[in-house]
């Protein structure tokens, strides 16, 4: 308590006094010395009591670190004495006091997990489990670790009264209600981020030591190492922390997790760790790099420009799509590019297809086989041996409800609204089969996200970024490399611009290597900043 007092200010509060209102940004935490505080969730008509915080306990959760808006109202239950610790001082505390940091960070992470599990937050989604947009919104909020209550159009008895209160109808769904006030009809991910205040706490005009584009494992690692080593770090991310790894149901080969960890959980922890060290994230897309002057400038989708002394490009890669003309119609409505718990729930007890022969296809098949009736793995080649790890092939062979169909591809999808039937063809025999299948998981390889860089950095023949010793003298002379030294490991043809993870030519497409590269890049960032 004495150590805590040095970070905050003692304060007396009266019974009934509101210390934090739902939706307030940059909130402090309160440590209770005597008396009691109550954490409340005001909903449409009533207040739900989440917790009572007594002496020796403290308020706050992950949003307190990031400066995002409060999920709850905090009110004194009786006359109380508290220590009020402002966000800035809280950051100093978790960065410097190891023992207190462990207590606070652990509590924050567990509280967020509980809020998510119970759907206790500032967002309520009204939708149908048969709607692709409902699934998209659920996934966006889940992948961003944002708690959300869900009201199912088909099953929830309260649905009519909720819709009536916000003057919307079932035809307007999915509807997202922000802080019990604003009803957004089928909002885009960006509209959701704006309404829930994801980007508010960030000063976009400051020249940063380091801007990282992409918050997959490589970008998150760069953010953790950069911020923990004192750099002013801004992370830009289109969708959610975690990147491709965030879509992985279980990562079993990442060091230190012998029983495996879901990609979303790993990403959530890494993101909280980056926040603890003061890194900030904006949910946006980098659309252009201005590279003919320094500081470099990154233009965002809304035209805002961010100046940066150094840049780590960690934009990763995206999955190839099947060459079928009506594929987009079934995106999220039967066709998926990730196999997480959410998708597994949708196809419980049914027959499904996984298209692809790589490790991610294998993992998806093994994971989905646990809850589905049967998994067909469709592979274009003659088998899995050349493309998949041995341990996964063995698991597939040992799983009775998985069938591998070599030299086979999907040729047609059919259904009104949701996918209902799939036709596949064996390329060798020409035989086709039409089956009543409503779920196809596409896991067929990746392309680098480098289009936005235009001609700023040298790319290899497949569009991946060339770095370090892969850069030839010709590459450097074409790019007018201005320094007497050669590019550092992971440095591109532009001094101070690095590439890490799946976006880099020659990368090995693994979480651990992306994390390694993101971390290594930081030691060279320091050297460039000193030059």
Distance from C-alpha of 212 to C-alpha of 499, rounded to nearest angstrom: 10
* For ligand FAD, the closer CB: 124 or 359: 359
Q: In the bound complex, what is the minimum distance in angstroms from residue 203's beta carbon to ligand FAD?
A: 18
Give the one residue of 135, 213, 222, 422 binding ligand FAD; rule: CB under 6 A: 213
Which residue stretch of 149-157, 196-204, 311-319, 455-463 sits at the interface with ligand FAD (rule: CB under 6 A)? 311-319
* For ligand FAD, the closer CB: 80 or 189: 189
Spell out, one character per residue from 485 to 504, where the chain touches ligand FAD: x when CB under 6 A holds, - when not: ----------------xxx-
Distance from C-alpha of 263 to C-alpha of 25, rounded to nearest angstrom: 28
Give the one residue of 39, 53, 231, 314 binding ligand FAD; rule: CB under 6 A: 314
* For ligand FAD, the closer CB: 123 or 515: 515
Write out the binding residues for ligand FAD, residues 242-261 only, by CB under 6 A: 243-245, 247-248, 251, 253
Closest alpha carbon to 29 in 72, 515, 48 = 72
Sign of CA dihedral 128, 129, 132, 137: positive
Binding of ligand FAD by 285 (CB under 6 A): yes
Q: In the bound complex, what is the minimum distance in angstroms from residue 309's beta carbon to ligand FAD?
A: 19
Binding of ligand FAD by 356 (CB under 6 A): no
Give the one residue of 273, 360, 372, 444 binding ligand FAD; rule: CB under 6 A: 360
Angle at 72 between CA 69 and CA 73, to 5 degrees: 110
Q: In the bound complex, what is the minimum distance in angstroms from residue 409's beta carbon to ligand FAD?
A: 20
Which residue stretch of 102-110, 270-278, 320-328, 511-519 sits at the interface with ligand FAD (rule: CB under 6 A)? 511-519
Length of the chain: 531
* For ligand FAD, the closer CB: 150 or 452: 452
CA distances from 273 to 66, 94, 135, 197, 462 (A): 11, 10, 28, 20, 34
* For ligand FAD, the closer CB: 51 or 509: 509
Tokens of 333: 């409505």
Q: In the bound complex, what is the minimum distance in angstroms from residue 265's beta carbon to ligand FAD?
A: 13
Size of residue set near ligand FAD by CB under 6 A:
37
Closest alpha carbon to 130 in 146, 149, 153 = 153
Q: In the bound complex, what is the minimum distance in angstroms from residue 283's beta carbon to ligand FAD?
A: 9
Distance from C-alpha of 126 to C-alpha of 10, rounded to nearest angstrom: 42
Binding of ligand FAD by 357 (CB under 6 A): no
CB 195, CB 182: distance < 8 Å? yes
Give the one residue of 124, 280, 449, 492 binding ligand FAD; rule: CB under 6 A: 449
Closest alpha carbon to 228 in 186, 272, 285 = 272
Give the one residue of 94, 514, 522, 528 binding ligand FAD; rule: CB under 6 A: 514
Which residue stretch of 40-48, 180-188, 234-242, 343-351 sits at the interface with ligand FAD (rule: CB under 6 A)? 234-242
> How buried is residue 265: exposed, middle or buried, by Cβ count under 10 Å (0-12/13-18/19+)?
middle
Give the one residue of 11, 329, 395, 509 binding ligand FAD; rule: CB under 6 A: 509
Binding of ligand FAD by 363 (CB under 6 A): yes
149: helix, coil or strand?
strand
What does the DSSP 8-state code read for residue 356?
Answer: -
> How buried is residue 277: exposed, middle or buried, by Cβ count under 10 Å (0-12/13-18/19+)?
buried
Q: Return the bridge partners of 32, or none.
A: 82
Give first-to-last CA distance, the chain, whole Å: 44
Tokens of 526: 């320091």
Give the one residue of 172, 228, 452, 489 binding ligand FAD; rule: CB under 6 A: 452
Closest alpha carbon to 8 in 26, 27, 29 = 29
Distance from C-alpha of 36 to C-alpha of 13, rounded to nearest angstrom: 10
Give the one residue of 236, 352, 384, 459 binding ligand FAD; rule: CB under 6 A: 236
Residues near ligand FAD (CB under 6 A) are 213-219, 236-239, 243-245, 247-248, 251, 253, 285-286, 314-317, 338, 360, 363, 449, 452, 501-503, 509-512, 514
């Amino acid at each position: 308590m004495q150590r805590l007092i040095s970070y905050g200010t003692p304060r007396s509060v009266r019974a009934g006094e509101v210390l934090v209102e739902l939706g307030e940004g940059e909130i402090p935490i309160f440590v209770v010395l005597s008396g009691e505080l109550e954490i409340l969730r005001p909903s449409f008509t009533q207040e739900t009591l989440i917790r009572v915080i007594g002496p020796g306990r403290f308020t706050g959760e992950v949003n307190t670190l990031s400066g995002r808006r409060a999920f709850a109202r905090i009110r004194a239950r009786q006359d109380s004495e508290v220590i009020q610790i402002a966000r800035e001082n809280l950051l100093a505390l978790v960065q410097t006091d190891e023992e207190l940091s462990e207590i606070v960070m652990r509590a924050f992470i567990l509280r967020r997990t509980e809020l998510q599990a119970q759907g206790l937050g500032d967002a309520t989604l009204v939708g149908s489990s048969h709607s692709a947009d409902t699934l998209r919104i659920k996934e966006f909020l889940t992948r961003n670790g944002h708690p959300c209550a869900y009201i199912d159009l088909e099953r929830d008895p309260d649905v009519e009264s909720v819709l009536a209160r916000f003057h919307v109808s079932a035809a307007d769904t999915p509807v997202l209600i922000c802080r019990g006030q604003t009803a957004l009809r089928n909002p885009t991910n960006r509209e959701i981020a704006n309404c829930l205040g994801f980007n508010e706490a960030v000063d976009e005009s400051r020249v940063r030591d380091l801007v990282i584009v992409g918050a997959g494992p490589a970008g998150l690692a760069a953010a953790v190492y950069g911020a923990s080593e004192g750099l002013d770090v801004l992370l830009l991310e289109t969708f959610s922390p975690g990147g491709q790894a965030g879509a992985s149901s279980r990562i079993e080969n990442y060091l230190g997790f012998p029983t495996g960890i879901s990609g979303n959980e790993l990403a959530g922890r890494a993101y909280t760790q980056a926040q603890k060290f003061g890194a900030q994230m904006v949910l946006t897309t980098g659309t252009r790099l201005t590279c003919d002057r320094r500081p470099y400038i990154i233009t965002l989708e809304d035209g805002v420009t961010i100046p940066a002394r150094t840049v780590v490009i960690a934009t990763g890669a995206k999955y190839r799509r099947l060459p079928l003309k009506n594929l987009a119609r079934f995106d999220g409505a039967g066709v998926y590019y990730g196999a997480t718990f959410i998708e597994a729930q949708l196809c419980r007890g049914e027959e499904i297809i996984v298209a692809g022969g790589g490790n991610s296809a294998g993992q998806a098949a093994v994971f989905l086989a646990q809850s589905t009736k049967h998994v067909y793995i469709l592979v274009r080649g003659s088998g899995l041996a050349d493309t998949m790890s041995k341990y996964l092939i063995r698991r597939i062979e040992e799983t009775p409800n998985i069938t591998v169909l070599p030299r086979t591809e999907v040729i047609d999808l059919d259904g009104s609204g949701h996918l209902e039937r799939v036709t596949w063809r064996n390329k060798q025999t020409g035989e086709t089969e039409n089956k009543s299948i409503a779920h196809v998981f596409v896991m067929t390889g990746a392309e680098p996200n480098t289009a936005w860089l235009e001609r700023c950095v040298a790319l290899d023949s497949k569009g991946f970024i060339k770095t370090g010793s892969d850069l030839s003298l010709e590459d450097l002379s074409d790019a007018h490399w201005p320094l007497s030294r050669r590019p550092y490991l992971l440095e591109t043809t532009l001094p101070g611009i690095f590439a890490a993870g799946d976006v880099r030519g020659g990368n090995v497409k693994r979480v651990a290597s992306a994390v390694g590269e993101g971390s290594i890049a930081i030691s060279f960032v320091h050297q460039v900043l000193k030059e």
